[in-house]
Structure 1
């Protein structure tokens, strides 16, 4: 028979009465504690309600024993007296040396350990049988939330040396109970199919292995009931009510039946809509925010959005704690609702101080220059939130949070506290990547996006592959002026062998240097001005095409293409030419201007907002080559369900020559096909071909993309990895043409790994022409490539 703490204390009280006799009282000159193993003597002294020098009698026994039992450290306690010494005899409870789980599959050891820790059962803790008895209840709660109702748990306790125990928990999870049927009773206006497709819970289907929508949980049902209620209230059913819900499980605990009883009621329309209360903002301005009107069907959603819009508007004028309550007056006879939005702005508050916390490396001024909310000015909720977004977009922080606590003793003041978690802003890397186009890629990169905490950026990079050898140095000061004008420099050398990436046979050596300035126009728009000087050396090979020969001849005035065996010269028939091992070089000075509109919510894997970029580049008259290029790119992101994002993307580009240059230089052509373009077609192969049948690019480009991103099944990480399904379309041509658009569909995957960015896709071209290779090596048709990937490059 188990004794509770009180019973033990009473029994020990009777026993101690034999040791501390009758009403004999004595002064405690010493206290000795016997039986301790892990607990320190000081701990006992702290809890014992008697000290040396105090009087002790029978009346003090029960409180002393009760105080020590209350600690939970001991399973037996007794008190004795030897002369003037009080002796405390204790038997410690054993400590938990280890907890072993067996049979757990759905829940990890870490999940189970955390659950048991909440009830006080963990390695190193004092063992308590009463706590162990709660294990089944706690683990059942964890497994029930995962739909495991056939759970069986058995616990074994084994004694170990040094007053320790080991706990062995055997788990038989059983199978997941599936929702067999969901019944809605009482619905006449909307059928079951219409209502059920709005609920998260569902009967088993093809996607249930991923969505787990056929696994019942009380939390999911509560959310679904609110969804059902909102569905009716947003369609005018003011008196809609959920009468009851029943959840039944079969005896074998494998199937669940859910029944929801509803009362729909009648449809109500709005009669009068008005504003009341303290309208501190001009009423006409607030009326524009009202999303409901007379004779419209009542919608709780629209009414709630109206309340929020008015509250946000007041927040921009310093009324940070404004409340806007919607008060409906229902006329049962007319089936109408009079809606009043009662405005309580509260006190107008201003910001006393803006505090930064967590930026141990980054200077305060770097954060403060991103602030749109100023100190000693009226608080603005939109400016406070915008400041937070700007800090997130710096790229220096893993996390940014903001709090607006009121100032103690000042009803009209708040502080704005930004807390940041810094991440490494420097990068020193060297490694090997692989691209399906370029093959093995060697790279080394030294980058610091936040030099000495100043926010300035420095980059030194080297890349080498069969296609590309590149050395680049760049510097950017994002706040060259206090107004946010940026200034940057760049210098580099690049050698490209176009034949290695499915393009015509030629190579270029380019040395470049430039300076750029960025000018912010507002929160979301900016201009960029660049001036680049570039020296390009062009080399033809022994198998360069007629087009390359023609370009060199046309721009140099020298025929470097010798007759081939058939007597053809440059510009002749589409046959291979024997070209001398020579080339030409061109010096150009090219100013450019760009415009960017960016409302994306984050830099990596955004799910909301848009980005537009337009740039115009032209070499100045007198350059060895006179040409211009125009490009425009637009991205739109739409958040759908949780972790689901839809992206629309379009790109258009055009270039041409002017003055003494008759056309866009062929090595400045636009190309399409492959990752980042039209997937499913071999990289850079879409569009015009040269006389040898190799991709030659064109003076115009049109690319369109629609893609749905979603998380990887069974993988909780969503910030650095995702899957997608897409449709690509595009065209490369000389002059804009839409009659040769290429289409493809497929699936994709992206992972921002610690070693570099990985992009993979499996695509099916929808209208590819068959590829043929003539006896002379000339290629016609489209070159397809179903599986494509890049690793070690940004995407």
Structure 2
């Protein structure tokens, strides 16, 4: 043990303390023999940190009482037992009791050097359980127990070679700082996993049920080949569940044998199992207090007689019955499954014993964890009422609605019994806030648009009010836009939302094969202001309606001018100006419906969102566009999520003699539509300039499989995904699809036909903000297609 001496004047006292500390168990209790007497005064000397009142509390008598030798001996023993003193001595003279103590130093700080496997808080909690921690007296026995506890924690994580040393640093006021020096060493790796007694399933099949494994091509990253006691316990349970889900109710697995090499680096795991018999279900029945719901509750049983028994399905049955009883107010309902086996016939009778308990009221709903977000923002999403029957379905809906706000990393709902009652609970809503402000920066690279940049600032929960305010700016070689929007989801107390937006867009269809025309180019500029309202019509359904004023101006060089002679202008835009004029003013009326049952707005794992929308333009531009979209999320096990997305847009001019306004065409290709193709490149191309024109109809479809990133378990903030995209852009009212210009951009084969792509990507809610990276391969690209395979986007949260 090394002692660091920072204060010279404490050197002697600390040395004395440490000597006494190490010999305390050998020092006899000091209380001189004397005859009983009436106490006139009590004196305590040697205290530095402890209060005199604490010492007096251990005395059996006070001034005026009779003090005996037995009481003195008992007092010394009790003061030693506090662990605060190295030495306790009681002497008496002239009816005065003199108590001399030598205090042990108090641990003022704990420092861990060289520790990476744990954080300080975790180890501090573990050390308190063995009586060691800040504010405690320094005791050699508890110091040794503390080192043993740290070593034990490392062994649980597979660090069998970890060594622990300590340093004591004296501090003023009889305090001491304790520093633990840790040499973690490497985690032992699993080199072999063996099974004995398995007959039905091979060892390779059983190894696949385990998280811990032998070294493989990805274990260098996941660390799954590194041994830990927690992992061993989890894998043992996984093996047990594997057999129980296949009807082996008599399955037994003994305590795994762990063999470690002499250098403490390699581990061999040996499992001994007894598979027993496989059982099929002979009888399924309900018992207990069924509340007259026999037939209804029986519908929740997910197994049938004659099937092989499956423990996971039995647990699902229990969950469903308890959930249904919870919807009826039986918050504390318990359902126990009791399988009774018949080894002679290999059959099992399964009984579900139902104990609904008392019907429960919700007394109060408490909100916690919200620092910025106002209580009312959370409370208005809660569908469970206070002083009403407990309803599990309403509570689940409340949790999902709060989660869908997107303001919180976690949302937990728990219940606590009201003291003194048997039929009341309080609901506790605990949230963990996340940054809801977003500064996003994006960079894209394509074969045509080259580098493009985008940025914006958005606050989803401004001043904790639950309202949204944002500014988004995009700028590229050919396109620019700026949008300011504000959304109040509770514009009225009944839940009607209002969104106000002001926007500017500048757009020029482009073709990289036409030389730079920045000074003499055509442009489409749009200014608009709109207001939309959303009216809830059910728990998950909302109707939208609103109006937007929009001004459009198309700037083209005049025919015959010098600019026109040196500028390649899309013929479609020439025809638009000749038909509608350069400037137009239009009022856009929109109406729509949306249904959203997703469980989260941040990273959905289940549920769906469906919407129908219609936009009608009245004024200089008379047209309509109908749209439909759907998103569906399907959980696959506990780790995977399969997502489907589809959308259809279809537009026409009101008059059959009017063309659909080309400036209202819809585009596809690139981020958000069909990855692998350049932005806006799908669909018709101008026959004169070769520019991307878009179309009046568009169909998009996407399938995406989200998978947990290796080593992150169930963390939804970091996931990788596989995807497949499909889409097409076409024109309505005409069977002709322009294929471009041979000189400018080339002729494209079937530009209005379907395009497909597939690829892989990574999504991460990083400390710097959301990051998404994707690489896509165009599957059926045609001659003349513009491709864009790699894309990424990163933002900063605040």
Note the C-alpha offset of 1:757.
4.0
What is the SS of the residue equivalent to 1:67? Answer: helix
In structure 1, what is the equivalent of residue 563 of structure 2? none
Counterpart position of 2:271: 260
Instruction: Specify whether residues 62 and 408 from structure 1 end up closer, same or farther in structure 2 by C-alpha distance, changes over 3 A only.
Output: same
- The within-5 A match list for 1:15-164 is 16-17=31-32, 21-33=33-45, 35-96=46-107, 101-107=112-118, 112=123, 115-116=126-127, 118-122=129-133, 125-157=136-168, 163=174
Cα distance, 1:471 vs structure 2: 5.3
1:470-498 CA-partner distances (Å, limit 9, x unpaired): 3535353525253x3x1425242413233
CA distance in 2, matches of 1:530, 1:546: 34
- RCO higher in 1 or 2 (8 Å CA, sep ≥ 6)? 2
TM-aligned CA distance change 1:362 to 1:677, over 3 Å: closer
Instruction: Tell me the residue number matched to 1:329.
Output: 340
Q: Which moved more, 1:638-647 or 1:276-285?
A: 638-647
SS at match of 1:225: helix
- What SS class does the counterpart of residue 230 from structure 1 fall into? helix
Match of 2:575 in 1: 550
Tell me which of 692, 713, 726 is aligned to 1:729. 726
Shift of residue 198, structure 1, vs aligned partner:
1.6
Aligned equivalent of 1:217: 228
CA 1:424–1:264: 2 relative to 1, 3 Å: closer
Shift of 1:23: 0.9
In the TM superposition, what are the counterparts of 1:594-673 in structure 2 within 5 Å?
594-620=592-618, 623-640=619-636, 644-659=640-655, 662-673=658-669
C-alpha distance in structure 1 between counterparts of 2:455 and 2:233, whole Å: 55
* Cα deviation 1:53-100 (Å, max 9, x = unaligned): 443332222222223223322212222335344333222223446655
- Residue of 506, 531, 536 corresponding to 1:496: 506
Cα distance change on mapping 1:511 and 1:344 into 2, 3 Å: same
1:707 aligned residue: 704
Secondary structure in 2 matching 1:265: coil
Length-normalised TM-score, structure 1: 0.82
Q: Corresponding residue for 1:568? A: none
Aligned counterparts, 1:464-483, within 5 A: 465=475, 467-470=479-482, 472-476=484-488, 478=490, 480=492, 482=494
Paired residues for 1:37-436 under 5 Å = 37-96=48-107, 101-107=112-118, 112=123, 115-116=126-127, 118-122=129-133, 125-157=136-168, 163=174, 165=176, 167=178, 169-243=180-254, 245-356=256-367, 367-395=378-406, 399-411=410-422, 413-421=423-431, 423=433, 433-436=441-444
Residues matched between the structures, number: 739
Structure 2 CA distance, aligned partners of 1:157 and 1:748? 48
Q: 2:216 aligns to what SS in structure 1?
A: coil
Q: What is aligned with 1:688?
A: 684
Question: What SS does the aligned partner of 1:215 have?
Answer: coil
Q: Structure 1 residue 107: deviation in Å?
A: 4.4
Query: Does 2:545 correspond to 1:537?
Result: no
In 2: Cα distance, 1:158 partner to 1:376 partner: 58
Secondary structure of 2:788 counterpart = coil
- Cα deviation 1:591-625 (Å, max 9, x = unaligned): 222222222222112233222233222224xx221
Find the aligned partners of 1:787 and 1:65 in 2 and give their Cα distance. Answer: 78
Using a 3 Å threshold, how does the CA distance of structure 1 residues 709 and 596 change in structure 2: closer, same or farther? Answer: same
Q: Distance in 1 between matches of 2:118 and 2:239?
A: 31
Asked if the contact 2:499–2:533 (Cα under 8 Å) also holds between the matched residues in 1, the reply is: no
Deviation at 1:189, TM superposition (A): 1.9
Return the offset for 1:549.
Answer: 0.8
2:157·2:230 contact (CA, 8 Å) conserved in 1?
A: no
Q: Deviations over 1:490-520 (max 9, x none)?
A: 2424132335898996433333333323232
Deviations 1:85-137 (A, max 9, x none): 43332222234466554544544566555554554444664322212212442
Q: Tell whether the 8 Å contact from 1:626 to 1:661 is kept in structure 2 after alignment.
A: no
1:782 partnered with 2:785: yes
What is the deviation of 1:361?
A: 7.4
SS state at 2:29 partner? helix
Spell out, residue by residue over 1:326-352, the C-alpha distance to the aligned partner (whole angstroms, 9 max, x if none). 333333333222223233322333334
Are 1:354 and 1:415, in contact at CA under 8 Å, matched by a contact in 2?
A: no
**How far off its partner does 1:645 sit?**
3.9
The question of whether the paired residues in 1 share the 8 Å contact of 2:407 and 2:460 is answered with no
Task: Give the superposition deviation at 1:199.
Answer: 1.8
Deviations along 1:429-465, one digit per CA (max 9) or x if unpaired, are 9x784543785556566x5746785x5x363647474
| Aligned equivalent of 1:512, options 528, 534, 538 | 528
Mapped partners of 1:463, 1:747: distance in 2 = 25
The runs of 5 or more residues in structure 1 that have no matched partner are 557-583, 771-780
2:341 alignment partner, SS class? strand
Structure 1 match to 2:772: 759
**SS where residue 62 of structure 1 aligns?**
helix
Q: Secondary structure at the match of 2:142?
A: helix
Residues 45, 598 of structure 1: alpha-carbon distance in 2 compared, 3 angstrom cutoff: same
